[in-house]
Chain A
Amino acid sequence: MNRRGKTALYVAAAIAALLIPQIPLLQPYLIQFAFLWVMILFAMTWDVMGGQMGYNSFGNIVFFGVGMYATAVVQRDLYFTVEEYASVAGGEQAALTPVEYLIGLALGMGSGAVLAVVIAALLGSGILGLRGHYFAICTLGLGIAAGELASGWDYIGAGSGLVTPLLPDALGERGPFFFYLFLVLAMITFAALKRLYAGQFGLAINAIRDDEDKADALGLHATRYKTVAWCVSGFFLALTGGAFGNLVIFIDPTDVAFAGPTFGVWMVLMAILGGKGTLWGPVIGATVFHVTQEFFWIYLFGWQRVALGLLIVVVVVFFPLGIVGWLRERWPQRFGEVVDEDARRVQVSLEGER
């Protein structure tokens, strides 16, 4: 397929996605679709680190939580004093005009994203120097430490959480509003990442994944690229978190914002299921995962989390390439890769010896 055909395909897919709310049959499920876009955002932002750069981070959920809390705090403090807010939060919800709501949301998401980038840059210079096991476990600890910290901090509601403002009636139903919000966010993220991967940045982080020491020796500023990659990941994840706080209305420090056991695990699983290190892999993985979860998991009666653990083991051990990775290995020509049969034969025979 040539370049123009591809562009046309992308535009068609985008228009089709934007038209979903017009289909009467799907209208009751718009919130579900919004969650799907969130899942896709999770998988895509995780893949920047885990897939393209080979740094498996278990702590990306930190940026999600930071964005969510920053947005909620900005929305709270922009138009209310804390006392007013606390007094209305119990019974009646604090009411905002549509303009106030949108300004608060935009400012909040923006400041959340900036804060996440700052945190990623500060932490990154230290943590991204760690390799392999050390990086994985350190980020695991980071995610949980953030959750514990948020549950103990009174300014952001501590363990009892924080309530975000309700969507004003003038902006329509929750469904379409958040559907479009997350869809646009996901599209922007996808386009930005596609652009980044196609350029020098993509080559650099792929080189770090393949052999960091060699990349370093060839004069690549590995730490700089790694930090930027983490900032990119954190930026989009914080935007997602900010909007997500408004979607679910109530922010719990460990179950929603810094939800390591659910969102934090899912983002890893979805990216691997779809095929980490590929552009479309996370999108496909997230879709498959979300649809399966919605359709099947209700029949498992509480055993779905057991199934989740089993699924991770099975996917990681037996299917580490993921859906797109498997397709790419099966039909490499379709992905624009040229297979050198002689080299392949040598490699296969070498692998046989091991």
Chain B
Amino acid sequence: MGNLEILLQAPIFSVQLLIDGLLVGSIFALAAYGMALLWGVMNIINISQGDFVILGGYVTLTLYNAGIHPLFGVPVAAVVLFIVGWVIYRAVIYRVVDRDLFISILATFGISILLQQLMDQIFGADIQSVESGLGQFFLFDNQVTVSQIKLVAFAVVIVVGVVLVLFFKKSRMGQAIRATAQNARAARLMGINTDRVYAMTFAMNAALCGAAGALVVMTWVIQPFIGLAYTIRSFMIVVVAGLGNIAAVVAAALGLGAAEQFAAFLLGAEFQIGFVFGLLVVILLVRNMFLKRQRQVLK
């Protein structure tokens, strides 16, 4: 806790942490929104969410190694992951959509392990990152640095968010997805091909994760086995924000990003992942406590 004194003596550090946290949090928002989408439309919790993110990162890394600027990785990773998502839906997910929810959790858990190990075999277990070649902004007499790539990432997230909102409001597919989320059976009666809607939803979710992964590899690092942390972050954000409200998802994601930066600074970076998982348990328990008050059960 020695770092707490540093924070108190030099409050400008908190500004640095806050800015970093908010910018990182915006990336979490992408994966979290995908999870909310999947949860709302198909009632599936995708444990492999984080592994899609990491896979998107590796797609960008491969492009970078081939000499292409990593920012192009954002659309490319999205397209590649869209296809991966579609294939996974056709191979596995459509068999578990209507079944017991434990089956879908376990099935996506298996997919998560499969993807992790495949990435480990193909790309190696090293921690990797790419250099975006962008510089830094200096604020407050050079006491606060903001890397430009993080700002770019933030902008990308905003653009994707606006496109998503428009997609759901205007396009036929977006409307079909919303209709299916409200009542799948009624949607089917109205002539909507719900199977296609599900496939589209799953693939779109994977594409969102892929874009997030491309941003992660530019602003942070990737490694085959850190995907689960992104799944947990997404889950936490969705639990706090609720389903189907993109503004709340973004707000919760920014909050989580900032909380994580402060925790990593105060507790030490080695406890950051532990903090994420611990926070999950705390959030779920507190949520359950509030729910319990409304419920009449035997003690």
- For A143-184 the 0/1 string (1 means CB < 8 A from B) is 011001101100000000000000000000000000000000
- Tell yes or no: B171 within 8 A of A by CB: no
Complex contact B281–A145 (CB within 8 A): yes
How distant is the Cα of A317 from the Cα of B273 in the complex, in angstroms? 31
- CB-CB under 8 A from B297, the residues of chain A are 216, 222-223
Complex contact B288–A312 (CB within 8 A): no
- CB-CB under 8 A from A317, the residues of chain B are 92, 95-96, 103, 107
Chain B nearest CB from A5 CB (Å) reads 36
- CB-CB under 8 A from A152, the residues of chain B are 270-271, 274
Complex contact B271–A137 (CB within 8 A): no
Complex contact B105–A306 (CB within 8 A): no
- CB-CB under 8 A from B92, the residues of chain A are 313, 317
In chain B, positions 38-86 with a C-beta closer than 8 Å to chain A are 45, 47
Complex contact B277–A145 (CB within 8 A): yes
Complex contact B278–A133 (CB within 8 A): no
Complex contact B45–A148 (CB within 8 A): no
How distant is the Cα of A152 from the Cα of B273 in the complex, in angstroms? 12
Complex contact B277–A306 (CB within 8 A): no
- CB-CB under 8 A from B109, the residues of chain A are 58, 265, 268, 312
How distant is the Cα of A25 from the Cα of B117 in the complex, in angstroms? 36
Say whether, besides A148-B271, A309-B111, A310-B110, A137 and B298 are in contact (CB < 8 Å).
no
How distant is the Cα of A142 from the Cα of B103 in the complex, in angstroms? 21
* Total chain A interface residues with beta-carbon distance under 8 A: 45
In chain A, positions 295-323 with a C-beta closer than 8 Å to chain B are 302-303, 305-306, 308-313, 316-317, 320
Complex contact A221–B298 (CB within 8 A): yes
- For A221-253 the 0/1 string (1 means CB < 8 A from B) is 111000000000000000000000000000000
Cross-interface CB contact of A223 among B110, B271, B281, B298, cutoff 8 Å: B298
How distant is the Cα of A141 from the Cα of B109 in the complex, in angstroms? 13
How distant is the Cα of A145 from the Cα of B228 in the complex, in angstroms? 12
In chain B, positions 80-105 with a C-beta closer than 8 Å to chain A are 92, 95-96, 101-103, 105
- CB-CB under 8 A from B280, the residues of chain A are 137-138, 141, 145
- For A127-143 the 0/1 string (1 means CB < 8 A from B) is 10110111011101110
Q: Which residue of B lies closest to A59 (CB)?
A: B281
Interface of B is mostly: helix
- Tell yes or no: A56 within 8 A of B by CB: yes
- Tell yes or no: B4 within 8 A of A by CB: no
- CB-CB under 8 A from B105, the residues of chain A are 56, 133, 136
Complex contact B281–A141 (CB within 8 A): yes
Say whether, besides A126-B288, A152-B274, A308-B113, A133 and B101 are in contact (CB < 8 Å).
yes
Cross-interface CB contact of B299 among A133, A142, A223, cutoff 8 Å: A223
Complex contact B277–A144 (CB within 8 A): yes
- Tell yes or no: A199 within 8 A of B by CB: no
- Tell yes or no: B170 within 8 A of A by CB: no
Q: Which residue of B lies closest to A137 (CB)?
A: B235
Q: Which residue of A lies closest to B116 (CB)?
A: A309
How distant is the Cα of A134 from the Cα of B109 in the complex, in angstroms? 15
Q: Which residue of A lies closest to B48 (CB)?
A: A309
- CB-CB under 8 A from B163, the residues of chain A are none
Complex contact A142–B117 (CB within 8 A): no
Complex contact B121–A302 (CB within 8 A): yes
Chain B nearest CB from A66 CB (Å) reads 16
Cross-interface CB contact of B117 among A134, A223, A308, cutoff 8 Å: A308
- Tell yes or no: A116 within 8 A of B by CB: no
Chain B nearest CB from A206 CB (Å) reads 16
In chain B, positions 101-146 with a C-beta closer than 8 Å to chain A are 101-103, 105-107, 109-118, 120-121
- CB-CB under 8 A from B95, the residues of chain A are 317
- CB-CB under 8 A from B298, the residues of chain A are 216, 219-223
- For B260-285 the 0/1 string (1 means CB < 8 A from A) is 00000000001101100110110011
Q: Which residue of A lies closest to B239 (CB)?
A: A134
Complex contact B117–A320 (CB within 8 A): no
- Tell yes or no: B251 within 8 A of A by CB: no
Q: Which residue of B lies closest to A145 (CB)?
A: B277
Cross-interface CB contact of A316 among B106, B121, B273, B281, cutoff 8 Å: B106
In chain B, positions 196-249 with a C-beta closer than 8 Å to chain A are 225, 228, 232, 235, 239
- Tell yes or no: B172 within 8 A of A by CB: no
How distant is the Cα of A95 from the Cα of B239 in the complex, in angstroms? 52
How distant is the Cα of A216 from the Cα of B298 in the complex, in angstroms? 7
How distant is the Cα of A305 from the Cα of B239 in the complex, in angstroms? 31
Complex contact B113–A268 (CB within 8 A): no
Complex contact B106–A312 (CB within 8 A): yes
Complex contact A127–B285 (CB within 8 A): yes
- CB-CB under 8 A from A149, the residues of chain B are 274
Chain B nearest CB from A297 CB (Å) reads 13
Chain B nearest CB from A50 CB (Å) reads 8
In chain A, positions 94-129 with a C-beta closer than 8 Å to chain B are 126-127, 129
**A-B pairs, 6 with minimum CB distance:** A309-B114, A312-B110, A148-B274, A309-B113, A313-B110, A145-B277
Which A residues lie at the B interface, using CB under 8 A?
54, 56, 58, 126-127, 129-130, 132-134, 136-138, 140-142, 144-145, 148-149, 151-152, 216, 219-223, 261, 265, 268, 272, 302-303, 305-306, 308-313, 316-317, 320
25 contacts between A and B (CB under 8 A): A56-B106, A126-B288, A127-B285, A130-B284, A133-B45, A133-B101, A136-B105, A138-B284, A140-B47, A141-B278, A141-B280, A144-B228, A144-B277, A145-B277, A145-B280, A148-B277, A220-B298, A223-B297, A265-B113, A309-B111, A311-B110, A316-B106, A316-B110, A317-B95, A320-B103
Other than the known A313-B92, A317-B103, what 10 A-B pairs have Cβ atoms closer than 8 Å?
A133-B45, A133-B101, A134-B288, A137-B235, A137-B280, A148-B273, A151-B270, A311-B110, A316-B103, A317-B107
